[in-house]
Structure 1
Amino acid sequence: MPAFSLDPPQTAWCAELRTVAAERLRPLAEKGEPGHVNRPLVAELGRLGLLKRLFTSGAVDLCLMRESLAYACTEAETALALQGLGAYPVHAYGTPAQRDRWLPQVTEGGAVAAFALSEPGAGSDAAALELRAEREEGEGREDVPPGQSVRTPGGSLAAHPDGPARWRLTGEKCWISNAPEADFYTVFARTTPGAGARGVTAFLVPADRPGLTGTGLDMLSPHPIGALGFDAVPVTADDVLGEPDRGFRVAMGTLNLFRPSVGAFAVGMAQAALDATLAHTARRDAFGGKLKDLQTVAHQVAEMALRTEAARLMVYAAATAYDEEAPDVPGRAAMAKLLATESAQYVVDMAVQLHGARALRRGHLLEHLYREVRAPRVYEGASEVQRGIIAKELYANMEAGR
């Protein structure tokens, strides 16, 4: 894997994104209501063409966007990322009808998407999903096993005399970003009991489906996050993303793209904390000189810079591997997310320490980053899950002789 470095157009684009985030997006973010979807902010991301780039560019561009926006406006970064996470399964696995119905609205900033995977009892262990997709009585053909649908030679779901296969979704989802205010959800439900990851199907569920309810959750960082309840919510074969019982592929395919970009989000926050620390220690008087003249402080700042740059390089190596369709993407994606999010936690925490009490005051950049930086170590696979993925990939490669 070649070393990653930005070319001049990428460098200029990142600088432009930082400026746009500070001048156009941050004022909209500041007007938003904590814990709720900021639709004017999402709409502005659409007008700027950034939402469209989620689906027309590669993983490296996604990481550049997330890092640059995170540096100047974490709320804008999060709004962009959540649109991508919720709608990417439609882009990558949806039917032409599904894509035509939703993707133009998503890219314009008019429809809000959500990725509904986690449950109260199945967060890190995504294969343990309990949301049930129960086949309706009398639906489907007798020669087709429950939970499966007929496909034509061309791969499309075939109709039968009673119409498309139908299910009812019953259960709960929790910790879902943009819930309960999203316009549609990518929902993962169990269609075959006892089959683990192989018995999960992904459905595109519009928010106005009968039986779908939701409540907001008050979190450490005031993002729009909620719980969803499914009381016999109707879905049909026309709502399936990908193939029945193959929804875990949809989930993992999406996460393999977005995990490195979570790392980019973390790198953007770490860089913002590092730059704030450089400025503060260069001007702060202490012990007869400047803070930066103290060896202890200088070494801590050097460690912060070292970890930030190491994380950045691993993030873009993973993104490059994804764009080049390398075989080791899952392991690289896990490494990138793990190193970047853990490093960002260290850098932001050390920045707070070097700033002292002023950094703990409400409204300070570092107070904001301190709350923002904690969640990425948990969502889209906690750090412990990433270590498990890395180890699994290492042993698989050893057994395969790679």
Structure 2
Amino acid sequence: MTTTPPPTSSFALTPEQRAWCAQLRVLGAERLAPLAAEGEAGRVNRPLLRDLGELGLLARAVPGAPPWRRVAALDLCLLRESLAYSCPEAETALALQGLGAGPVADVGTAEQRARWLPAVATGEAVAAFALSEPDAGSDAAALALRAEPEVRGGKGAGGGDGVEGAGETGGTGGWRLTGTKTWISNAPWADFYTVFARTGEAPGSRGVTAFLVPADRPGLSGEPLDMLAPHALGTLTFDAVPVTRADLLGEPGEGFRVAMRTLNLFRPSVGAFAVGMAQAALDASLAHAGRRPAFGGVLRDLQAVSHQLAEMATRTEAARLLVYAAACAYDSEGAGGEDVALRAAMAKLLATETAQYVVDAAVQIHGAAALQRGHLLEHLYREVRAPRIYEGASEVQRTLIAKELYKETHKEARHP
């Protein structure tokens, strides 16, 4: 499972890639799904993570060894789509490792990378991406979690002693993090958190800094949240949690940029996750419509049903191609490419909205049986809703797309 598929165009997979995706679907169904079923609902499934690590799959989402090569976006999308088809829990577990460790791989120090990335890539350590807050979900630039400076040798914002081992820059001994994060995947069970806090260099997004915060820091606590789809999700409370310059991810004031670069990689792959679920619902519907007796024939003989299936298939394929195109753009241009943010937002928007439509249509084709607990579509119906919200809700994606379009318009106006 460690062979890298060859590159592809935005429009067609190679035979080798198709074979790899088929192999992943089988692996998800036969090996990973039983492990997922054995896990406790709403908690991190560490045996599943370790198996993903042993298979070499986590290393495709997290660079696990020097020289810490950049994750290939198309590779990640094919992996997420294929696992989502047969085992959404394994797909989500893998993706959250990549998201939580993404900023460490991107801007982490040599010490941070050596300490955490190999452990995340083998499934021994659990990572988490802590951006959202109770009043700052879609508006990520409105973060309120405070990183208050602490003078070396003096008392910190939380009343404790100065942070040991902090850097000398600006006469600061470090910071104390105070506030709340919520809707954080893998919380409160992660081993470390990529935390975005306001250090105040400037208003808005320019005043946000990223920190790597190990879970055992004093003052850090958390509680799980009980969600419709029972994933590991929780709230984190920071009560004057000490951090130092050694915990910085990048430079002070650059945290928002770090977060957006990570999301530009993972947004298309959220679309791939959605496409995998849509394909599973479509295939189940094709099979059901071909065998379910109805009005002297089977369901697929009814034009209303066959046309519905055709629409589901067309939308799924359109979403898939947009996801692949966005991933190829990232792989060729990098996170800072001219249209990477635009393509990433389009891919996530179309794919997640399409998956919601396809799964809902599949439930309608199956009828009441699809809503019975334990049915594939009952499971997908719960799983498919969240991707339209996390990593930027559909409305946020439309706003991002519009901003990027206006940028292009202004650029053309300046240079006709």
TM range (shorter): over 0.9
Alignment partner of 1:319 is 2:330:
no
Q: In the alignment, what sits opposite 1:67?
A: 81
Compute the displacement of 1:137 (Å). Answer: 3.2
Corresponding residue of 1:151: none
1:362 corresponds to = 373
Q: Which amino acid aligns with 2:94?
A: L
* Contact 2:101 2:127 (C-alpha < 8 Å) held by counterparts: yes
Q: Mark the CA change 1:297 to 1:24 in structure 2 (over 3 Å): closer, same or farther.
A: same
Amino acid at match of 2:361: M
- Structure 2 residue 18 is the aligned partner of structure 1 residue 8: no
The one of 287, 312, 336 equivalent to 1:279 is 287
Q: CA deviation at 1:2?
A: 5.8
- The answer (yes or no) to whether the contact 1:216–1:224 under 8 Å persists in 2 is yes
Give 1:87's match in structure 2, choosing from 63, 82, 101: 101
Q: Secondary structure at the match of 1:349?
A: helix
- C-alpha distance in structure 1 between counterparts of 2:409 and 2:170, whole Å: 50
Given that 2:202 and 2:253 are in contact with CA atoms closer than 8 Å, whether structure 1 keeps it comes out as: no
Aligned equivalents of 1:174, 1:36: Cα separation in 2: 16
Structure 1 match to 2:3 = none
What is the aligned partner in structure 1 of residue 229 from structure 2?
221
Distance 2:316 2:168 in 1: 56
Q: How does 1:1-400 map to 2 (within 5 A)?
A: 3-54=10-61, 55=63, 56=69, 57-138=71-152, 159-160=167-168, 165-192=173-200, 195-325=203-333, 326-400=337-411
Alpha-carbon distance in 1 for matches of 2:290, 2:152 = 74
1:147-181 Cα offsets, whole Å, 9 max, x none, are xxxxxxxxxx9943999740000000000000000
**Contact 2:201/2:252 (8 A) holds in 1:** no
Secondary structure, counterpart of 2:240 in structure 1: strand
**Preserved CA contact (<8 Å) 1:114 1:179:** yes
Count of residue pairs the alignment pairs up: 386
Q: 1:9, 1:184 → 2: CA distance?
A: 36
CA pair 3-194 structure 1, distance change in 2 beyond 3 A: closer
Secondary structure of 2:222 counterpart: strand
Change (3 A) 1:170 1:159: closer
The answer as to whether partners of 1:164 and 1:237 remain within 8 angstroms in 2 is: no
Give the RMSD, CA atoms, in angstroms.
1.8
Amino acid paired to 2:72: G
Q: Please report the TM-score for the alignment, with normalisation by the length of structure 2.
A: 0.90
CA distance in 1 between counterparts of 2:22 and 2:9 reads 24
Q: TM-score, normalised by structure 1?
A: 0.93
Question: Is the Cα–Cα contact under 8 Å of residues 10 and 328 in structure 2 kept in the other structure?
Answer: no
Structure 2 unaligned blocks of 5 or more = 1-7, 64-68, 155-164
Q: Is the 8 A contact 1:139 1:166 kept in 2?
A: no
Between the aligned partners of 2:378 and 2:173, the Cα distance in structure 1 is: 51
For 1:111 and 1:184, how far apart are their aligned partners in 2?
8
Query: What amino acid maps onto 2:99 in structure 1?
Result: L
Using the alignment, how far apart are the partners of 1:353 and 1:130 within structure 2? 43
* 2:38 alignment partner AA: K
In structure 2, distance between residues paired with 1:222 and 1:14: 26
The answer to whether the 8 Å contact 2:133/2:180 transfers is yes
Alignment match, 1:147: none
CA–CA distance in structure 1, aligned partners of residues 396 and 169 of structure 2:
45
* Equivalent-residue separation in structure 2 for 1:139 and 1:311 (angstroms): 56
Aligned residue for 1:213, secondary structure, equals: strand
**Helix, strand or coil for the counterpart of 1:391?**
helix
Identity of aligned residues (%): 72
**Displacement of 1:327 after TM fit?**
1.2
Paired residue secondary structure (1:324): helix
Separation in structure 2 between the aligned mates of residue 44 and residue 244 of structure 1, nearest angstrom: 37
Q: 3-state DSSP class of the match of 2:344?
A: helix
Distance in 2 of aligned mates of 1:198 and 1:162: 18
Partner SS for 1:362: coil
